[in-house]
Amino acid sequence: MSNPIRVATAALSGRIFAGRPTKDGQGFKEPRYDVTSDVLVAVRDKIGVGHEVTVERGGVPEFRIAILPIEQQEPTNG
C-alpha cells in the first residue's frame, strides 16, 4: 500500500490519532482523526473482559495487557 493509514499516540495529549503520515513520518497529514475510544474498545473486545494477553516483539515478551472489570459498588443510603 503506497499511502497507508497509521495510528500513533500524541506526546502531549496522550490521545490516539489515525491518519496518513507525512513524508518524514513525524506527523499526520490533515485530516487526522482522534480514535482513542475506538481503539480502547477494540482492544477490550479483542482480549475480553477478565482476560489478559502478553505482547511480544521479535518473539520476546515485552508487556502484558489485562482487561479488568470495574467492581460495582452498592448504593449507599445517605
What tens digit of pLDDT does each residue of 17-48 get? 999 999 898 889 999 999 999 999 999 999 99
Terminal-to-terminal C-alpha distance of the chain: 60
Strand ranges (E), 1-78: 6-9, 16-19, 33-34, 52-57, 60-66
Neighbours of 78 (CB within 10 A): 3
- Mean per-residue pLDDT of the chain: 91
Which H or E run includes 37? Answer: helix 36-47
pTM: 0.75
